Amino acid sequence: MNYYTNRELSWIDFNERVLNEAGNQKVPLAERLTFASIYQSNLDEFCMVRVGTLMVQMSSTEEERENKTGMTSLEQVEAILEKVKKLEIKKAVIYENLMKELEAYNLNLVNFNKLTDSDAKALENFFDVNIAPYLSPIIVGKQQPFPFLANKELNAVVLLKNKNGKNKMGIVPCTNTIFPRLIAVPSKPGTFMLCEELILHFVSKLFEHYSVGEKSIIRITRNADIDEKDVLDEDLDYRNMMEHLVKQRKRMSPIRIELSRVINDKAKKEISEILGINELHMINVETPLDLKFVFELQKLLREKKELFYKPRSPRTSPFINLKKKIIPQIESSDLLLSYPFESMKPFLNLLQEAAEDKNVVSIKMTLYRVAAKSKIIDSLIEAAENGKEVVVVVELRARFDEENNIEMSHRLEDAGCKIIYGLENYKVHSKLCLITRKVNGSLSYITQIGTGNYNEKTSTMYTDLSLITANQGIGNDAANIFKALLLGEPVDSSEHLLVAPLCLQNRIIQMIDEQIALGNNGYVGIKINSLTDKVLIDKLVEASKAGVKIQLCVRGICCLIPDVAGATENIEIISIVGRFLEHSRIYIFGKDFETQKIYIASADFMTRNTTRRVEVASPLYDEKIKLRILHIFNTVMKDDEKGKIQCSNGEYVDRNLSPDGKEKLNSQELFYEEAYKKISEYN
């Protein structure tokens, strides 16, 4: 019986759910523009990372098959390209509808067919004066080889003929910071033309001695699957090696070529041969090849409040008093922060307080992704300058954030912080902070464990959870984690925390086994971003067969299909794509509140998280916090506005759990309403 689905194809399905939000009439118009852009940026990164990895595997002498569906790398790439090409058709329809709706607000994107003669002449003059002088067109030949086309940048490709009838190819880079992307049409306020379309229209002016045939804007996506082991250099330290890798990524091999126009087969073949890529990877796109310009359109709509989401801002948790010292309050009671509904400020204040507290002897922290201008970094620097031991585990392998992390590590090191770069074979993805105090000769710990990064910006955009506790057992486990990291070793045992790679997956299996022993009285509830770990999938299937009720909220990749007779009929799976990125991870084992085991975690149920990274899951011991987490989880599972349920055929569909005539439940909006209400109740 087949209850597996392919990881990569499942991700494509997730991104289609993002695209669907761009076409969802219930979403405000300006916000739907954002979803269209997110769909494209998601797909770019997917091609750069996942398709890039598959293409590297394809060139390997040993054929690799995916461990759940048995698909080869080639079969996966072909299936991905087929689905992406189909979604391009859907995206084009959604994009055209968005542009039509914008016309009602006097915003238009036009081509030359819709311009008056006077406007056309004005744009031609703009091109001659403000664009053409800054372009560097070349004709490909023996003296001018095909130029390097940078990742995701726009270029015009032009098929030319000289006076002797000889065919040539011209290339014009269109990505430029000198002229704007949106070119205003003088006589029509709110009407624009994209700069690449203007360049393409007047491209003949750049090749005066040639006749222009077919032409197109193209955009190349390059492989970003870099591995530090590929550039091992004894003369480079680890940080310098990562700087070298980041530079190398910019020139890696093409994965996908997008074209704005159809060009002839001969030209396609020539481009594919020059770039060393199969023609199957060339995709015709009916929308602009780079959608980031939609944010410029949004700026022009700001006064139209109805076109945007209702303004929301994180509330201060009612369970903490920011006017008083944070540490004594934590010593009195654990604190749970729920982002973005609640502010990160209590944690920021805690760090600053620790930096200044004479009783604090050390701060140890794992950093994966941080904000560009981070108050967290400022507090760590101040703590080090105040003579405290500050140990920071900086993960330089946080993909696409390497440069920011390298710069951050320099700042911390210059201030006197001790920097380590994790373990040789494992990324450090945990969200862990340990504050050690010495009071009256005794050591005590304040520990923070989170599901999301220490990033002030994303804490207002992602749903995440952050536990701050003075539980000394949890503190001892955290201290042992940092001790192991300093020794370059993974933790092999812990009493309270679940710690990957050696004591998380096995402990989860143990707790599922406990539910299996209860049969129909067993229960497992999991909220994660992705589910790919075959070991855990098979254990969940075993539990389902034993009668255990299993509820899963999996936002993105889900390699398990529910409701398959004889295997997964006791498993319910939903996915939520909404205003905020669902990012929190929750594990629940058992029905009985008295014996229920509840965790928040940094780890998804992916093999890379459970066996190839340092991840941390923390138990919840405070009864009020456990009740809050159960409320969050149960509310999420009832979301029938943004929550889609997965069917036995693998498709995700709408559902209606709300009584007739009652508005559907949007869990994110409800959590914000509750946050606002709690503040008013406590004030």
What's the longest Cα–Cα distance across the chain? 93
Instruction: Please name which of 357, 303, 301 lies closest in space to residue 327, comparing C-alpha atoms.
Output: 357
Query: In a 3-state reduction of DSSP, which class is residue 439?
Result: strand
DSSP letters, 183-223, are EEPTTSTTEEEEHHHHHHHTGGGGSTTSEEEEEEEEEEEE-
Tokens of 644: 């889609």
Mutual angle of helices 667-682 and 623-637, in 10-degree steps: 140
In the sheet that 211-222 helps form, which strands lie side by side, from edge to edge? 138-139, 167-173, 154-161, 211-222, 254-259, 282-284
Q: How far, CA to CA in Å, does 382 sit from each of 324, 375, 389, 474?
A: 21, 10, 11, 26
Contacts of 385 (CB under 8 A, 6+ apart): 415, 416
Paired with 526 in beta bridges are: 552, 587
**429 carries an active-site annotation:** yes
Torsion of CA 121, 127, 132, 138, to 10 degrees: -80
Query: In a 3-state reduction of DSSP, which class is residue 559?
Result: coil
Contacts of 69 (CB under 8 A, 6+ apart): 4, 5, 6
Whether the Cβ atoms of residue 337 and residue 344 lie closer than 8 Å to each other: yes
Kindly give the residue spans of alpha helices, DSSP state H, lying in 345-486.
Answer: 345-356, 375-385, 402-414, 472-486
Q: How far, CA to CA in Å, does 17 sit from each of 11, 42, 88?
A: 10, 12, 14
Rounded Cα distance between 488 and 315, Å, is: 39
Whether the Cβ atoms of residue 365 and residue 379 lie closer than 8 Å to each other: no
Q: Which one is catalytic: 244, 281, 429, 583?
A: 429
Matching residue, tokens 């009256």: 440
Rounded Cα distance between 259 and 251, Å, is: 20
Matching residue, tokens 């770069």: 421
Whether the Cβ atoms of residue 413 and residue 382 lie closer than 8 Å to each other: no
Residue numbers annotated as active site? 429
